[in-house]
Amino acid sequence: MNNLFKALSHPVRRRIIAMLRQGPMGSGEIAAAFDMSWPTITGHLNALKDSELVSTEKHGQSVRYRLEISAVEEAMAFLMDLTGTGSRTPEDDK
Amino acid sequence: MNNLFKALSHPVRRRIIAMLRQGPMGSGEIAAAFDMSWPTITGHLNALKDSELVSTEKHGQSVRYRLEISAVEEAMAFLMDLTGTGSRTPEDDK
DNA sequence: ACCCTAATTAGGAAATATCCTAAGTAAAGT
DNA sequence: ACTTTACTTAGGATATTTCCTAATTAGGGT
């Protein structure tokens, strides 16, 4: 939960997940879209993986990154709870 | 937008906004709920104010912090766009 | 005027994040 | 076996965040 919002807190990582909305992409393909070194992007991808916002899948020598909607929904649930009037547990605050 | 997610990225700040769900609170009242110094909590409150997730209102010598639902909704809109299939603009990625 | 209560700002130490270049791994082609 | 392609890990400089204590501001009461 904490890693989730931390992952979302960087503009580059948000842009990456926005890109992945259209479907899985390779690491290099993602890196090419940014004005930063490939290793830096790998670092951001690792952060996204730690947060479970993305998952990976090897396809030969390339690695495809896929957006994990379930994690996005988890973040949304937290925010929804803030706007709604429903009941909540202390669990939500972690 | 960036400040918004950055504000949400710290567990203490998330707990604060969860507390404010039940209504506005004073700075000291909030600080008392944490095992940290009051100035540290003031720092977090300032971060929340910068992100526009909370607003303040002076009431005599005490300051009340209020949750701003509109900012929560802005964050939610970003996430919703990720899960949905609707069209999107580059504006969203900021 | 003086003090108390409520809260913030200042300054600084320690931890974490962000970015780079260089080096390493691993699959695929020749 | 060697090379190329695709990508990650290692190491390190710099920037930012997080937290503390001490000092300050501001309103209210006596």
Q: Between these two residues, A88 and B2, which has the higher pLDDT value?
A: B2
Average pLDDT of the residues of chain A: 92
Helices (H), chain A: 2-8, 11-20, 27-32, 38-50, 69-83
pLDDT at B24 over 50: yes
Q: Which residues contact B83 (CB under 8 A, 6 or more apart)?
A: A69, A72, A73, A76
Interface residues for strand C (CB within 7 Å) are A 6, 9-10, 12, 36-37, 39-40, 43-44, 47, 58, 60-61; B 26-29, 38-39, 42-43, 45-46, 56, 61-63
C-alpha B63/C-alpha B56 separation (Å) is: 7
Average pLDDT of the residues of chain B: 92
Amino acid B85: pLDDT: 46
Q: Which residues contact B39 (CB under 8 A, 6 or more apart)?
A: none
- Which domains does chain B possess? 2-93 (1.10.10.10)
Amino acid code (one letter) for B39: P
Residues of B in contact with A78 (CB under 8 A): 14
**pLDDT tens-place string over residues A38-70:** 999 999 999 999 999 999 999 999 999 999 999
**pLDDT tens-place string over residues A64-77:** 999 999 999 999 99
